[in-house]
Amino acid sequence: MTTTGEHVPGDEARVIDAVPTGLFIGGTWRPASGGRTLTVDDPATGKALCEVADASPADGMEALAAATAAQASFAAMPPRERGEILLRAYEIMMERIDDLALVMTLEMGKPLAESKGEITYAAEFFRWFAEEAVRIDGGYAVAPAGTSRFLVQKQPVGVCLLITPWNFPMAMGTRKIGPAVAAGCAMVLKPSELTPLSMHSLAAILAEAGLPDGVLNLVTTSEAGAVMEPLIRDGRARKLSFTGSTPVGKKLLEQCAEKVLRTSMELGGNAPFLVFDDADLDKAVEGAMQAKMRNMGEACTAANRFLVHRSVADVFAEKLAARMGALTVGRGTEEGVQVGPLVNAKGREKVTALVDDALEKGATVVVGGDPVDGPGWFYRPTVLTGVPLEARLSREEIFGPVAAITVFDTDDDAVAAANDTEFGLVSYLFTENITRALRVSEQLESGMVGLNTGLVSNPAAPFGGVKESGLGREGGTVGIEEFLETKYVAIGFGG
């Protein structure tokens, strides 16, 4: 096995060849009906990596039938056994971390070190939910009148539909599969057509770890809507767990209304990053690098709007620009590269358009500000100052390596600007004043707050947003609840 930085191009062919390319339905890998395939590209070169099966709506219905057939027996499997499957899968992922990371870098672009970080993060969801599988509890209580008893039981929701995005191709899957397996739910999972290879690799690992046939069914497709809508409207699936953009999430919520499916929605963000005049600026710049540059800025948690107190704004911008300008941009497989390409031409065009719009509206480039010539979808790490709040950069998800800085004068102005968005996933704030820290944390309208840190994601913590950033939480002790129903049995006690 290779380690980061030591692999040779032959490794790239070896790891890609090892990924199963079919649909995984009922425990069997098979071609899509009609033999249809779709191409997976390397965003660093724009060249094809491989072809994978491209599911049709009929294939999707077969996957749903397989999950439905597996549901009852899987729900009856002892929780300890379900947990042990997750634990074995965790161990296999960690044993194969180098190969899994290389596959991820090839299909998605992030540097190998970041891919390894994501594989570890992703595997940790399995370890966490292996432990949660045996802690599903219930309750027994005396009714207030004393004449009956309440028995409260938790049961698996039933068959779940899982839809994951391309930006964290492994972790967004394990964050759903982990609690679904722990709770006893069979699944149909649809990864993004841009980055299906991580989920294909994972399905094989789960089968090897002993997951029964039909519990996880994988349908990669170039027709996401046409394949998933009939499954959502069918009625046999009882839950949809979706991670992706807010517009698609809203459309799916409407579809879920027909059969009143349970939903978990992990949607888009527009995170404010507040730097107060009493902040430790070096700590704030470190946090900004994490919150902005993780995943090349292609993260729902990415700092989107830097709101900095006027008295420290110039120094903060200078320090941040020095760090951003020193980053090495390149193919994520190459040693020393810190910033990979954006995922595709569309992603880069959007970043370019947002930066151009801000410049037209009066912003100034401190560093970067343009795409990198040549093959692949690279964009230079960029810092802009004087970004007006009405610029598109301040209102839309950037999903690229661009830090947009705006100044504020008072705490109230900072909080008002931070909350002036339909999104509410995460906010960051840097201050050394404990009272201000707690007061502003309470005032920020977001599901998560990073206080003097640029990283909030942790499998043991409840991840999720408010407002149009979503519904429900993933991870933490509440993560499994999303896959459980509460049943109450009223017990007559006579008299």
**Contact set with ligand NAP (CB under 6 A):** 163-168, 172, 190, 192-194, 224-225, 228, 243-245, 248, 251, 266-269, 300, 397, 425, 465, 470
Pick between residue 276 and residue 423 the one whose CB is nearest to ligand NAP.
423
Catalytic residue among 62, 266, 474, 481: 266
Whether 440 contacts 416, CB under 8 Å: no
Query: Rounded distance, CA 199 to CA 205, Å?
Result: 10
Query: Rounded distance, CA 429 to CA 314, Å?
Result: 18
Measured from the CB of residue 428, what is the shortest distance to ligand NAP in angstroms? 15
Pick between residue 244 and residue 376 the one whose CB is nearest to ligand NAP.
244
Measured from the CB of residue 174, what is the shortest distance to ligand NAP in angstroms? 13
Query: Rounded distance, CA 37 to CA 22, Å?
Result: 9
Query: Rounded distance, CA 175 to CA 493, Å?
Result: 42
Known active-site residue 185: no
Measured from the CB of residue 80, what is the shortest distance to ligand NAP in angstroms? 29
Measured from the CB of residue 196, what is the shortest distance to ligand NAP in angstroms? 8
Pick between residue 167 and residue 421 the one whose CB is nearest to ligand NAP.
167
Residue of minimal CB distance from ligand NAP? 244
> What is the separation, in whole angstroms, between the first and last Cα of the chain?
71
Please tell me the total number of residues recorded for the chain in this structure: 495
Measured from the CB of residue 225, what is the shortest distance to ligand NAP in angstroms? 3
Query: Rounded distance, CA 333 to CA 8, Å?
Result: 9
Pick between residue 206 and residue 232 the one whose CB is nearest to ligand NAP.
232
C-alpha of 391 from chain center: 26
Catalytic residue among 160, 185, 256, 300: 300
Q: How many CB atoms lie within 10 A of CB 171?
A: 25
Pick between residue 323 and residue 473 the one whose CB is nearest to ligand NAP.
473
Known active-site residue 266: yes
Pick between residue 123 and residue 284 the one whose CB is nearest to ligand NAP.
123
Query: Rounded distance, CA 463 to CA 254, Å?
Result: 23
Query: Rounded distance, CA 205 to CA 379, Å?
Result: 34
Whether 269 contacts 425, CB under 8 Å: yes
Q: Which residues contact 184 (CB under 8 A, 6 or more apart)?
A: 74, 75, 76, 77, 79, 82, 155, 156
- Going from the C-alpha of 167 to that of each of 297, 322, 372, the distances in angstroms are 10, 26, 21
* The two three-digit tokens of residue 298, written as one number: 């292609």
Active-site amino acid positions: 266, 300
